[in-house]
A = this chain, B = another copy of it.
Amino acid sequence: QMPRGNLETVHHRALVLAQLRKWLDSLRFREAFEVMRKLRINLNLIYDHNPQVFLENVESFVTQLDSVNHINLFLTELREEDTSRSMYPRPDSSSSQAPPPPPPPPPGVTKVDVVCDALRRCLEALDTHRFCLSILTTHVKKTVPELEVALQKVHELRVNPPGAAGAVSAEEALKYLLFLVNVNELYEHSLGTYDFDLVLMVAEKSQKDPKEYLPFLNMLKSLETNYQRFTIDRHLRRFRKALQHLSKCGEERFPEALQLIKEQKLFSEALRLYPAGGAPHKALSRAYADHLMEQQQPEQAGLLLWRCGEPAEALQAFVSGSSWRNAVSAAQQIPLPPPQLALLARQLAEKLMEQRRYSEAALLLDQYAKDCEEAIAALITGALWEEALRLIHMHDRQDITETDLKPALLEACGSQVSFLEAQAVTFSRHRARLAVVRQQKLKARLELLDDEAADCVDADLFSEASSVMTNSRYSHSNSRISSRSSKNRRKAERKKFSLKEGSPLEDCALLCALSDIISTVDKMREEVHGLLKALVLFQFDGQAQKLQLAYGEALHTMEAAVPEIWQDVPQQSQAPVTGPNSTANSITASFNQQKPAAAQPDAEILTPPKMRNGVKWKLAVLQ
């Protein structure tokens, strides 16, 4: 069946386009334009056909067309679309003769703006007066219409009427503008030029009631220039400009400005307008700081307060943001008396301890609270053994080694060993259960194939198959693993799966849990290394050996188990299922193989966790 439509016309248009392309290539813009106009072919093609050639030959285009109306027609039809691709694509056979794709334009520069600016430059060079209306069009057509510039040009025509013959009068130009742009919009923009003559000129052309606009204009005229412009800008809701003008009206207008700043949240602009050191700048900084505190940005609030000479207020902001370095710096600048500084340091240290930032807490306690005992205790809590020992020696407090450090080391060692044992147990339980689940799924799939019960939903079948196993010993999930390692994102992901025996995605849940255990254990390398060194230093060789053995075994078991656990899972590094040697059967087979792993398992679950074997943690002295 033939496609519908008039074949002759289609063919005809293709011929026309081919001809047009030839004309455009040979810069015969006039012929092209005439035909396009007649046959209603989108004029954008003149540019789109070869943008670079057009831009290099704008003058030729203008002189060939030699008509303000035609140029305006071209301009008003401009849009961003590339018609050489969308409406008039080249036939495929000629694609090899196509010009290379244009380099991507710099961000924020659009085709319409490029053409408008290029044409205006050319027209202004040729004859400002003759092409006046076209020039106005180039302003109006821009992505962000330059109405004020256009209006300004109209205003100039009124002030200095051109003497040249055939030149456009202000009247005519304004009429033309009103034809292109909505009158209210034009009126507003005329106000924005702060030029009352121009405003009146537009207002008179509009159907506006003079009783409405005259009193307003007269009120404005009575104001001081900057305040007048501020009032206009505020009326036009151009608050940034409004603030700029208001800031020039002297300090007595500052309360009004501050009002505006707060209402419109123009704080950062305002900071640039009021010179640093002055009273307004300081008031502004405080207001901004209040705003930033509300926005949960206490640190930036603190910086503003501090730099405007308010270290005490800055201190409060820094404290609430746990920005402890700035807090103590500001405190010392105030200067806070030593007992209060110590109190501050303790307060900050407490917060940092909550965030597990033990070494920073210890620094505060040591250097600002002058409490080396607490500092050492913080480091011991954080398992930062070497740093604790450094402070012990620095303050010559070897007694703490006996009373605190050594017992903590032994406790840490014991708890690490038992944690590792628990992880190993959970790991092998999940691993065994995973093998069982996989076996069941395989069996269920085979039975499915046997029975050809294709209408039976897989998931139901699997849960049935595994419900047989309810009495096995693998029925309780691990509740401890996740507490230590996993990220929030993973947590959310894992919620989709349940470790409950017989749940449809139990294998995914097991993969997740196994992966988590491996990551958790792998992350302990640095901590175990530090603990082993400290144990050796204090002659706890036996305990250290036990830990080294337990950790080494845990890592070894898990690393060795990875290929088995992630065996059926397609690896990222694997070759794609399709390839030069693949057949329809092999593709189907690989597809069938992939499918049963899970409904739609995320890539992350299917990737075995990376182990950082590059991080050396073992001690030779314990081997």
Q: Contact residues of A with B, CB < 8 Å?
A: 96, 100-101, 103-104, 107, 267-268, 271-272, 276, 288, 292, 295, 297, 299-300, 303-304, 306-307, 325-326, 328-330, 332-333, 367, 386-387, 389-390, 392-394, 396, 428, 431-432, 435-436, 439, 443, 447, 533, 536-539, 541, 557, 570, 572-573, 576-579, 584, 587-588, 590-591, 594, 603, 619-623
Contacts and interface: CB of A to CB of B under 8 A. Distances in A.
Given A326-B386, A367-B394, A572-B572, A268 B623 contact: yes
Nearest to A389: B329
A620 B292 contact: yes
A570 to B, nearest CB: 8
Contact of A329 (B297, B393, B447, B623): B393
Contacts of A588: 578
A367 B333 CA distance: 21
A305 to B, nearest CB: 11
25 contacts: A101-B439, A104-B428, A104-B435, A107-B557, A267-B621, A268-B622, A271-B541, A276-B539, A300-B536, A300-B619, A300-B621, A304-B621, A307-B537, A325-B387, A325-B390, A326-B386, A329-B386, A329-B393, A329-B394, A330-B393, A332-B393, A570-B576, A572-B603, A579-B591, A584-B584
A538 to B, nearest CB: 7
Given A268-B621, A576-B594, A578-B590, 18 more contacts: A268-B620, A268-B623, A276-B539, A297-B620, A300-B536, A300-B620, A300-B621, A307-B539, A325-B387, A326-B389, A328-B394, A329-B392, A329-B393, A329-B394, A330-B393, A332-B394, A577-B578, A579-B591
A501 B447 CA distance: 58
Nearest to A92: B446
Q: State the copy count for this chain.
A: 2
Count chain B CB atoms within 10 A of each CB in A96, A325, A387, A389 and give the residue with the most. A325
B591 A576 contact: yes
B271 A621 contact: yes
Given A101-B435, A101-B439, A396 B332 contact: yes
B393 A333 contact: yes
A369 to B, nearest CB: 13
Contacts of A389: 325-326, 329
Contact of A307 (B386, B396, B538): B538
A43 B439 CA distance: 28
A602 to B, nearest CB: 8
Q: Is the interface of A mostly helix, strand, loop or mixed?
A: helix
A328 B393 contact: yes
A326 B590 CA distance: 57
Contacts of A326: 386, 389
A104 B432 contact: yes
B329 A390 contact: yes
A234 to B, nearest CB: 22
Closest 4 CB pairs of A and B: A329-B393, A332-B393, A578-B591, A325-B386
Contacts of A306: 537
Nearest to A269: B623
A544 B329 CA distance: 22
A431 B436 CA distance: 51
Contacts of A435: 101, 104
B390 A292 contact: no
A436 B591 contact: no
A303 B385 CA distance: 13
Contacts of A541: 271-272
Contact of A533 (B299, B432, B621, B623): B299
A151 B276 CA distance: 97
Contacts of A276: 539
Contacts of A432: 103-104
Nearest to A394: B332
Contacts of A578: 577-578, 587-588, 590-591
A304 B619 CA distance: 12
Give the residue among A276, A394, A557 with the most B Cβ atoms within 10 A: A394
A577 B579 CA distance: 11
A443 B96 contact: yes
Contacts of A103: 432
A358 to B, nearest CB: 15
Contacts of A297: 620
Contacts of A594: 576
A537 B557 CA distance: 53
Contacts of A267: 621
A571 to B, nearest CB: 9
Most buried by B among A96, A533, A621: A621
Contacts of A333: 393
Contacts of A591: 576, 578-579
Of A303, A328, A428, chain B has the most CB atoms within 10 Å of the CB of A303
A22 B196 CA distance: 111
Contacts of A557: 107
